């Protein structure tokens, strides 16, 4: 099944002519999940032909404006497009009150139900499960309560080898059992091992989103062996003191996080607009964790 990431915004605090504010689309089996919703998100969604109406779940990491100010226009546009089905919004406490206040003060309505889910900013928890995906939140360390998100595939039934169905004349009820791990018992009493009847299962894939956080090693424990880690690298190591004063990470610290959890790929983003180029940030991380990519708005990545 398709499992891919689209970067909609990769700047921090201030948008630039090349970088929008934080937002991503994580798609699984053509189902889009919106992660953060900085100003300009709905324009990016249109640019990349993402259907607004397909988005049923929004995950807001924390309540700093660059991560959620885009949600007001996005909700308004959904209403204008005739949305009626419920929308689920996951965020730290306070977003529901902010959204209600904005629409009340502007004498506007949201013509569809919104279900708010308050994130636990103290400990990890499962926040959503779909048929093939489990989504977890976990706390990070910043100047406001903040959560990162983990998207993990759930184990699927194995695919049976078609030739084996004919060879052993396997019935439908037995096929279901075999797909779920059972052996096949023949009339003669002989048992055929499950591994001889099904294709090997593909490795379960995973993605983690870490934004706006100081480097705190214990906070990364839920991310062990993540395939793709997106981690903020707002500052270079030369601005480490500024990073720590503002509750952010350097590129060096992002690379250390990738090593800490044994990530396969590190994606860097949330770059400060103070830098004319981010090449030095990316090279800094690469010197510690080789498989590092600095993201650009519009980048796609297969998980």
Give the model confidence (pLDDT) of 29-77 as tens digits: 999 999 999 999 999 999 999 999 999 999 999 999 999 999 999 999 9
Bridge partners of 231, per DSSP, are: 210, 268
pLDDT at 149: 98
The Cβ-side half-sphere exposure at 248, using a 13 Å CA radius, reads 22
Residue 214 makes CB contacts below 8 A (sequence gap 6+) with 140, 141, 142, 243, 244, 247, 248, 249
Quick one: average pLDDT of 3-16? Answer: 97
Tell me if residue 297 is catalytic.
no
Separation between Cα atoms, residue 202 and residue 180, nearest integer Å: 15
**Over the stretch 77-112, which tens digit does the pLDDT of each residue have?**
999 999 999 999 999 999 999 999 999 999 999 999
Residue 230 makes CB contacts below 8 A (sequence gap 6+) with 5, 24, 207, 208, 209, 210, 211, 267, 268, 269, 295
Contact (CB, 8 A) for 68 and 99: no
Position 295 confidence tier, pLDDT thresholds 50, 70, 90 = very high
Task: Name the nearest CA neighbour of 57 among 1, 119, 15.
Answer: 119
Sign of the torsion angle spanned by Cα atoms 233, 235, 239, 245 = negative
Q: Which residue in the list 66, 212, 239, 297 is annotated as catalytic?
A: 66
In the chain, residues under CATH classification 3.60.15.10 are: 3-156+201-302
Tell me the two tokens of residue 201.
């299962």
Separation between Cα atoms, residue 244 and residue 216, nearest integer Å: 11
CATH class name, domain 3-156+201-302: alpha beta
Pick from 84-88, 158-162, 227-231, 235-239: least confident: 158-162
Q: Packing angle between helix 95-105 and helix 71-80, nearest 10 degrees?
A: 60
Position 3 confidence tier, pLDDT thresholds 50, 70, 90 = very high
């Amino acid at each position: 099944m398709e499992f891919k990431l689209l970067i909609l915004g990769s700047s921090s605090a201030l948008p630039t002519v090349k970088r929008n504010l934080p937002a991503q689309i994580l798609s699984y089996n053509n189902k889009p999940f919106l992660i953060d919703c900085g100003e300009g998100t709905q324009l990016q969604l249109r640019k990349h032909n993402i259907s607004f109406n397909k988005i049923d779940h929004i995950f807001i990491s924390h309540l700093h404006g660059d991560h959620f100010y885009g949600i007001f226009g996005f909700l308004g546009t959904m209403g204008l497009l005739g949305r009626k089905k419920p929308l689920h919004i996951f965020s730290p406490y306070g977003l529901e009150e902010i959204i209600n206040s904005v629409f009340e003060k502007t004498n506007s309505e949201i013509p569809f139900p919104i279900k708010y889910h308050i994130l636990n900013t103290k400990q990890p928890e499962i926040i959503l499960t779909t048929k093939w995906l489990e989504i977890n939140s976990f706390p990070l360390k910043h100047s406001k309560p903040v959560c990162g998100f983990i998207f993990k595939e759930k184990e699927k039934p194995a695919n049976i080898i078609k030739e084996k169905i004919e060879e052993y004349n396997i019935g439908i009820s037995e096929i279901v059992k075999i797909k779920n791990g059972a052996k096949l018992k023949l009339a003669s009493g002989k048992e055929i091992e499950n591994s001889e009847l099904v294709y090997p299962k593909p490795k379960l894939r995973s993605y983690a989103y870490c934004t706006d956080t100081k480097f705190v090693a214990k906070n990364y424990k839920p991310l062990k062996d993540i395939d793709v880690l997106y981690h903020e690298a707002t500052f270079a190591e030369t601005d480490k003191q500024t990073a720590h004063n503002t509750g952010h990470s350097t590129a060096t610290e992002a690379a250390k996080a990738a090593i800490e959890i044994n990530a396969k790929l590190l994606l860097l983003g949330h770059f400060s607009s103070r830098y004319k180029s981010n090449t030095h940030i990316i090279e800094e991380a690469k010197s510690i964790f080789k498989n590092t990519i600095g993201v650009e708005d519009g980048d796609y990545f297969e998980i």
